[in-house]
Structure 1
Amino acid sequence: MHYSGSAGEGKKPRILWFNALFLILTPLAALILTPLFIYHHGVHWAEPVAMVALWFLTGMGITAGYHRMFSHRAWWAPKPIRAILLVLGAAAWQNSAIAWCAGHRYHHKHIDTEDDPYSIEEGFLWAHMLWVMVEGKMHDDFDSAPDLLKDPMCQWQHKYYTAISLAFNIGVPLALGLLTGRVWGMLLWAGLIRIVVVHHFTFFINSAAHMWGSRPWNQDMSARDNGLLALFTFGEGYHNFHHSFPGDYRNGFRWYQFDPTKWTIGLLHKVGLAHDLRRSSIDRRLRKRCQTLRERYEAQMHEWSEGLREQVQAAEQSLDEALAEMRAKRAEWSRRAGEMQAHALEELEHARIDAERRALEAFRAWHNLIPAAARN
């Protein structure tokens, strides 16, 4: 499938008929054929199991591969892992890695503007799937992905994308069907239904995750954190965090947030199959969170008592001092890390960690003083 791009100025947008028919007919076929097949042939337990397993695998091709690795370089992997993720990404039937990542990088650069390829400002349906059906912004413009254009593996996947996708989406369900004696059932469940599910839960990140949810990290953009969406998108639902810290390999950065993509990358790292895992620093996260909370509570300060305002201001000053100390310790650690012997470096590391702890304590003290209405 070839995603949409830009029509010329003043011209009527061109309908991409293959994309439009594919995205309309596949869910329609799934809705009609599934109940009919179940009525006449029932369901073998292996069919929904295969659907979920392939949903996870091809979903990882998008979330761990296309999104967090190739689009944002939040982590990297040896060639065999990259090759597997490129094949799984192609099997998700969402275009090649080069095309997908180029459009996604434009989305981050131009979010909520007329140059955003799937801007929510154009409406839910446009952001969800119409942008794929109608020629829009940056059609076939890969200038935002020069690194991928030079990558031999991405070049190979881009050239043979259609063949890879067809081979996987027909061959794998067909093989599973031959193993179970349920060829048509597997083609339906592990093929058609799985493709529709992967498509639309990916699309919900472009649409629903820009309309419903919280914005704890940045209120100046439409992207929102939505824990419910995270359950069905392998952790991609923490979208406000992601747009605030796109280089972090985690979308759900807290340990308890549901992010199977983060866990999968972490597991690969433990066995030596992933490296260069990037994380947003605690001082950047605290500064971003403080900025957002300040914007919220400043509009309500006139309702507070003089005593509460003074307490908040004093706590805010302590927090700023703690953040400044933490930044200074981090800078000192970075500057001296290559110069110091192991013992001295360990002492400096303890000082840096202690500064981070004090900054967290100062943040919590300041945060607890702010009325709940301003924090929500």
Structure 2
Amino acid sequence: MTTTIKQPPQKPGIADLDWTLVGFLTAVHGIALLAPWFFSWSALGVMIVLHWLFGSIGICLGYHRLLTHRSLQVPRWLEYVLATIGAMALQGGPMFWVAGHRQHHLFTEDAEKDPYAASRGFWWSHMLWLIYPRPSVFNREIYRSYAPDIARDRYYNWLDKYYLLLQVPVAIALFAIGGWPFVIYGVFARIVTLWHSTWLINSATHMWGKRRFHIDDNSGNLWWTALLTYGEGWHNNHHAFPNVAPAGWRWWEIDVTWYAILVLEKLGLARRVVRPPAEAMAQAR
């Protein structure tokens, strides 16, 4: 009988780095650090509004709860609008984002198969997974198999390839309205703060937080990440019931994205909104 010994995951080396992406991330962070020299209250306001629009409406509602988990349905035109807003967050196209997140749920914290496995450590799950790219996460011909519904759509394929270009009209419009302060805050500072807000869900909520549901991963409900990410920080709730539309289940669990879904439902624009099962709600005390 042959015994197969499973080898531990290899630590990435300096040669494995995607230097192009390292340079891009460094440049965006560097420009964002110019923000104190361009400060104005109106520029800060623009950053906050766009952080909410691209983060809560685009990523949390559009990419995550709608496209990835199909926890609600909206008209096709509205789905395209929400996906486009998500693409403007500069976190990848819809097929890339959905495929990666579905892998995360299928193989949560598996050091080899989860794209941002917290079992590899805080910094790996926070951002190192991006600069040490693996084919299953970054090769379109491979990752598309995890999002076949998205891959069949021509518009989503276009967004997946050209999402970076969407920053150009945003920057031009902001410059026309408020000059360089609006560009620095509305583009670069907004991108960086939204990146790290989103990445905290991959890292912090898989290391800390309360575990309402005892499931086979370390996801936790972490209130301060929920405030930064419009509800996504109620992550133990989400991992226990991924296809449920609300992440916050009790009135004190602030979930700004869920409030937006409720508005869409009241307007008749969202239907088949998946709510927590009654027996699970009884545990949510």
> TM (normalized to structure 1)?
0.67
Asked if structure 2 preserves the Cα contact closer than 8 Å seen for 1:241 and 1:251, the reply is yes
Q: C-alpha deviations, 1:179-200, integer Å up to 9, x for none?
A: 3xx3111111111100111111
Alignment map for 1:196-345 (pairs within 5 Å): 196-286=192-282, 289=283
Q: Is 1:87 the equivalent of 2:88?
A: no
Asked if structure 1 preserves the Cα contact closer than 8 Å seen for 2:246 and 2:255, the reply is yes
- Corresponding letter in the other structure for 1:230: A
- Corresponding letter in the other structure for 1:30: A
Q: Distance in 1 between matches of 2:215 and 2:240?
A: 10
SS in 2 for 1:75: coil
Among 15, 18, 35, the residue aligned to 1:16: 18
SS in 2 for 1:143: helix
SS in 2 for 1:207: helix
Report deviation, 1:175. Answer: 2.0
**Structure ID, larger Rg:** 1
Report deviation, 1:86. Answer: 1.5
Q: Distance in 1 between matches of 2:235 and 2:258?
A: 14
Asked if structure 2 preserves the Cα contact closer than 8 Å seen for 1:170 and 1:187, the reply is no
Asked if structure 1 preserves the Cα contact closer than 8 Å seen for 2:246 and 2:275, the reply is yes
Distance 1:10 1:270, change over 3 A: closer
For residue 71 of structure 2, what is the aligned residue in structure 1?
74
Asked if structure 2 preserves the Cα contact closer than 8 Å seen for 1:225 and 1:241, the reply is yes
RMSD of equivalent CA atoms: 2.2
Q: Distance in 2 between matches of 1:34 and 1:10?
A: 35
SS in 1 for 2:218: coil
Asked if structure 2 preserves the Cα contact closer than 8 Å seen for 1:96 and 1:157, the reply is yes
SS in 2 for 1:213: coil
Identity in percent: 36
For residue 29 of structure 2, what is the aligned residue in structure 1?
27
Report deviation, 1:227. Answer: 1.0
Q: C-alpha deviations, 1:88-141, integer Å up to 9, x for none?
A: 111111111111110100100101112111101111110000001112361322
For residue 100 of structure 2, what is the aligned residue in structure 1?
103
Report deviation, 1:215. Answer: 0.6
Structure 1 spans left out of the alignment, 5+ residues: 1-8, 291-363, 365-376
Q: Distance in 1 between matches of 2:125 and 2:176?
A: 39
Asked if structure 2 preserves the Cα contact closer than 8 Å seen for 1:116 and 1:137, the reply is no
For residue 155 of structure 2, what is the aligned residue in structure 1?
153
Distance 1:241 1:185, change over 3 A: same
Q: C-alpha deviations, 1:59-81, integer Å up to 9, x for none?
A: 02100011001110001211221
For residue 64 of structure 1, what is the aligned residue in structure 2?
61
Structure 2 spans left out of the alignment, 5+ residues: 1-9
Report deviation, 1:204. Answer: 0.5
Report deviation, 1:239. Answer: 0.3
Distance 1:229 1:251, change over 3 A: same
Q: Distance in 2 between matches of 1:107 and 1:137?
A: 15
> TM (normalized to structure 2)?
0.88
Report deviation, 1:255. Answer: 3.0
Q: Distance in 1 between matches of 2:129 and 2:31?
A: 22
Report deviation, 1:275. Answer: 1.4
Q: Distance in 2 between matches of 1:257 and 1:29?
A: 35
SS in 2 for 1:142: helix
SS in 2 for 1:64: helix
Asked if structure 1 preserves the Cα contact closer than 8 Å seen for 2:17 and 2:131, the reply is yes
Which is bigger in relative contact order (C-alpha 8 A, separation at least 6)? Answer: 2
- Corresponding letter in the other structure for 1:214: K
Q: C-alpha deviations, 1:343-370, integer Å up to 9, x for none?
A: xxxxxxxxxxxxxxxxxxxxx9xxxxxx
Asked if structure 2 preserves the Cα contact closer than 8 Å seen for 1:234 and 1:259, the reply is yes
Asked if structure 1 preserves the Cα contact closer than 8 Å seen for 2:12 and 2:132, the reply is no
Distance 1:81 1:198, change over 3 A: same
Among 95, 113, 116, the residue aligned to 2:114: 116
